[in-house]
Amino acid sequence: MPIMTKSINHIRLTVTDIDRSRAFYEGLFNWPVAIEMPAGTPPEEQGRYGFLYGGVIYNIGHSLLGLRPVSTDTFDENRTGLDHLSLALQGPAELTSAVALLDEQGIPHGGVKDIGNGFILEFRDPDNIALELFAPKEP
Protein backbone atom coordinates (compact mmCIF):
# COMPACT_ATOMS: atom_id res chain seq x y z
CA MET A 1 0.00 0.00 0.00
CA PRO A 2 1.43 3.46 -0.88
CA ILE A 3 2.06 6.18 1.68
CA MET A 4 -0.94 8.51 1.53
CA THR A 5 0.09 12.15 1.85
CA LYS A 6 -2.19 15.19 1.95
CA SER A 7 0.23 17.95 0.98
CA ILE A 8 3.74 19.24 1.58
CA ASN A 9 4.24 20.10 5.25
CA HIS A 10 7.35 22.19 4.81
CA ILE A 11 10.38 22.91 2.69
CA ARG A 12 13.62 24.28 4.09
CA LEU A 13 16.17 26.07 1.95
CA THR A 14 19.80 26.36 2.97
CA VAL A 15 21.19 29.87 2.66
CA THR A 16 24.59 31.51 3.09
CA ASP A 17 23.46 34.65 4.96
CA ILE A 18 20.30 34.40 7.08
CA ASP A 19 19.90 38.16 7.53
CA ARG A 20 20.19 38.83 3.79
CA SER A 21 17.80 35.97 2.96
CA ARG A 22 15.27 37.04 5.58
CA ALA A 23 15.30 40.59 4.22
CA PHE A 24 14.71 39.23 0.70
CA TYR A 25 11.86 36.83 1.53
CA GLU A 26 10.18 39.09 4.06
CA GLY A 27 10.47 42.08 1.72
CA LEU A 28 8.76 40.22 -1.11
CA PHE A 29 6.26 37.97 0.62
CA ASN A 30 5.68 39.33 4.15
CA TRP A 31 4.94 35.80 5.38
CA PRO A 32 4.27 35.50 9.10
CA VAL A 33 7.06 33.88 11.10
CA ALA A 34 5.84 30.54 12.45
CA ILE A 35 8.91 29.94 14.63
CA GLU A 36 12.42 31.25 15.12
CA MET A 37 14.98 31.28 17.90
CA PRO A 38 14.08 34.44 19.82
CA ALA A 39 16.87 36.99 20.06
CA GLY A 40 18.66 36.75 23.38
CA THR A 41 17.66 33.14 24.03
CA PRO A 42 19.88 31.98 26.89
CA PRO A 43 22.37 29.24 25.91
CA GLU A 44 20.68 26.72 28.22
CA GLU A 45 17.38 27.18 26.31
CA GLN A 46 18.81 27.17 22.79
CA GLY A 47 18.67 23.36 22.60
CA ARG A 48 14.89 23.37 22.21
CA TYR A 49 15.35 25.57 19.14
CA GLY A 50 18.23 23.48 17.79
CA PHE A 51 16.15 22.14 14.90
CA LEU A 52 16.10 25.68 13.47
CA TYR A 53 19.91 25.80 13.14
CA GLY A 54 19.71 29.58 13.64
CA GLY A 55 17.11 29.96 10.90
CA VAL A 56 13.45 30.80 10.61
CA ILE A 57 10.26 29.06 9.49
CA TYR A 58 7.46 30.98 7.76
CA ASN A 59 3.79 30.08 7.50
CA ILE A 60 3.05 30.38 3.78
CA GLY A 61 -0.57 29.25 3.89
CA HIS A 62 -1.09 25.50 3.70
CA SER A 63 2.57 24.69 4.38
CA LEU A 64 5.76 26.08 5.87
CA LEU A 65 8.95 27.39 4.30
CA GLY A 66 12.16 27.52 6.31
CA LEU A 67 15.54 29.14 5.83
CA ARG A 68 18.58 27.43 7.35
CA PRO A 69 21.94 29.24 7.41
CA VAL A 70 24.49 26.52 6.80
CA SER A 71 25.57 26.54 3.22
CA THR A 72 28.82 28.02 1.98
CA ASP A 73 28.11 26.61 -1.45
CA THR A 74 26.22 28.20 -4.34
CA PHE A 75 22.91 26.95 -5.67
CA ASP A 76 22.89 25.00 -8.93
CA GLU A 77 19.65 23.48 -10.18
CA ASN A 78 21.66 21.10 -12.33
CA ARG A 79 22.94 19.21 -9.27
CA THR A 80 20.98 16.60 -7.39
CA GLY A 81 18.52 18.26 -5.02
CA LEU A 82 16.25 21.21 -5.64
CA ASP A 83 15.56 22.39 -9.19
CA HIS A 84 13.34 25.34 -8.26
CA LEU A 85 10.60 26.37 -5.87
CA SER A 86 7.27 27.34 -7.42
CA LEU A 87 4.75 29.36 -5.42
CA ALA A 88 1.08 29.55 -6.43
CA LEU A 89 -0.79 32.80 -6.95
CA GLN A 90 -4.52 33.34 -7.44
CA GLY A 91 -4.37 34.68 -10.98
CA PRO A 92 -2.52 36.70 -13.64
CA ALA A 93 -3.24 40.08 -12.00
CA GLU A 94 -1.03 39.05 -9.08
CA LEU A 95 1.81 38.34 -11.49
CA THR A 96 1.56 41.91 -12.78
CA SER A 97 1.85 43.18 -9.21
CA ALA A 98 4.78 40.83 -8.58
CA VAL A 99 6.64 42.17 -11.64
CA ALA A 100 6.18 45.72 -10.33
CA LEU A 101 7.50 44.75 -6.88
CA LEU A 102 10.50 42.89 -8.30
CA ASP A 103 11.29 45.87 -10.55
CA GLU A 104 10.89 48.28 -7.62
CA GLN A 105 13.34 46.22 -5.55
CA GLY A 106 15.79 45.81 -8.43
CA ILE A 107 15.39 42.03 -8.58
CA PRO A 108 16.03 40.64 -12.09
CA HIS A 109 13.34 38.36 -13.51
CA GLY A 110 12.41 36.63 -16.75
CA GLY A 111 9.10 38.41 -17.31
CA VAL A 112 5.72 36.72 -17.39
CA LYS A 113 5.64 33.64 -19.63
CA ASP A 114 2.58 31.80 -20.96
CA ILE A 115 3.11 28.06 -20.38
CA GLY A 116 -0.27 26.85 -21.66
CA ASN A 117 -2.23 26.10 -18.50
CA GLY A 118 -1.04 29.25 -16.76
CA PHE A 119 1.65 31.88 -16.48
CA ILE A 120 4.99 31.88 -14.67
CA LEU A 121 7.41 34.54 -13.47
CA GLU A 122 10.95 33.33 -12.76
CA PHE A 123 13.57 35.03 -10.58
CA ARG A 124 16.29 34.14 -8.07
CA ASP A 125 16.93 34.74 -4.40
CA PRO A 126 20.22 36.16 -3.03
CA ASP A 127 21.77 32.65 -3.06
CA ASN A 128 20.75 32.15 -6.69
CA ILE A 129 17.96 29.70 -5.72
CA ALA A 130 15.53 29.53 -8.63
CA LEU A 131 12.07 30.76 -7.67
CA GLU A 132 8.91 30.81 -9.74
CA LEU A 133 5.48 32.33 -9.27
CA PHE A 134 2.67 30.43 -10.99
CA ALA A 135 -0.78 31.80 -11.81
CA PRO A 136 -3.47 29.74 -13.51
CA LYS A 137 -5.24 31.19 -16.51
CA GLU A 138 -8.57 32.71 -15.65
CA PRO A 139 -11.51 31.04 -17.43
Question: pTM score, two decimals?
Answer: 0.89
Worst-scoring range by mean pLDDT, 18-32, 63-77, 81-95, 117-131? Answer: 63-77
For every residue of 14-40, DSSP letters joined together read EES-HHHHHHHHHHHH-PPEEEE--TT
Percent of the chain, pLDDT > 90? 69
pLDDT one-digit tens code per residue, 12-22: 999 999 999 99
Across the chain, what does the average pLDDT equal? 92
| Among 50, 47, 54, residue whose Cα is nearest residue 22 | 54
Domains of the chain with CATH codes: 8-72 (3.10.180.10), 83-139 (3.10.180.10)
